[in-house]
A and B are shown apart, each in its own frame.
Chain A
């Protein structure tokens, strides 16, 4: 077996829980965005959690709508 070298080789691609990587992504996007927009930086942690929660909610909402569409289309055809 060839040794895995971090930052050089890609992580194992067969991992089924890849979508969990969206959680740190949304957290970091929210952190950077709120660090830019908040005048009072003590507000950043709370606003980051709220914004990343909204982002994840939007992701879940989109996934639910697409899943429902898929179920409807599968039943029709």
Chain B
């Protein structure tokens, strides 16, 4: 394999490394390094999925493969409580009817599991439209999926695995909660963090090759 150095913008090397681990090295002509480092990262990620199953990639803001929403309701003590749902309310309308206690009954239009709208009548409607949890409390969602903070740096690889994970969750594939599954999550999170190092190093080497000062690595 011929390693001929080529001038590439650090920005291009960085974007390429985000897209595919090692592609930034490949573009600047360091093909052996691309195979070794990029291949190692992809192998770590794949081994993590083999150990812990595809559901080790747990996208924040999703529950059992469906988008998770929150909405406010008024309880019997007239306090506002937050309720989580995977079938968001999109419209609340008055029906003009009342229940046995004289409470008004509302028609709540929701989106079903496969996106089709349906309507139910209730005397405890949400006080407004449902909001996706990632918009309502993003940090809490990330905190609940802490390994995702590492996994995300695998770029599109993580996005594809996340999509497949959601599909598996909808098909009732079980999620691993054993210590071995934790090790699998560790594999995928560390592969992402190593890819972050690789992204920085590839951009640095590209800058060095292009003549920028203070770039390049050493053993």
Q: Which residues on A are within 8 Å of B, measured CB to CB? A: 6-15, 18, 21-22, 24-25, 28-29, 31-41, 43-44, 47
Contact = CB atoms under 8 A, between A and B. Distances in A.
B10 interface: no
A35 B33 contact: yes
Contacts of A10: 51-53, 55-56, 174-176, 178, 180-181, 184
A15 B182 CA distance: 13
Contacts, number: 99
A5 to B, nearest CB: 8
Contact of B32 (A6, A14, A25, A41): A41
B37 A32 contact: yes
A41 B36 contact: yes
A35 B40 contact: yes
B54 A8 contact: yes
Nearest to A27: B40
B41 interface: yes
B37 A35 contact: yes
Given A29-B190, A47-B219, A13 B179 contact: yes
A35 to B, nearest CB: 4
Interface string B33-72: 1001100110110110111111110000000000000000
A37 B217 contact: yes
A47 B218 CA distance: 13
Contacts of A35: 33, 36-37, 40
A41 B18 CA distance: 23
Contacts of B178: 10, 13-14, 18
Contacts of A34: 219
24 contacts: A10-B51, A10-B176, A11-B52, A11-B53, A11-B184, A13-B176, A13-B177, A13-B178, A21-B51, A22-B183, A25-B183, A25-B187, A25-B190, A28-B40, A29-B190, A31-B36, A32-B40, A32-B41, A33-B197, A36-B33, A36-B197, A36-B201, A38-B219, A40-B219
A9 B165 CA distance: 11
A31 B219 contact: no
Contacts of A32: 36-37, 40-41, 44, 194, 198
B83 to A, nearest CB: 31
A21 B41 contact: no
Given A18-B183, A21-B180, A35-B33, A11 B198 contact: no
A69 B175 CA distance: 34
B186 interface: yes
B139 interface: no
A11 B50 contact: yes
**Nearest 10 Cβ contacts at the A-B interface:** A13-B178, A10-B176, A10-B53, A35-B36, A35-B37, A32-B40, A38-B219, A18-B180, A31-B40, A21-B183
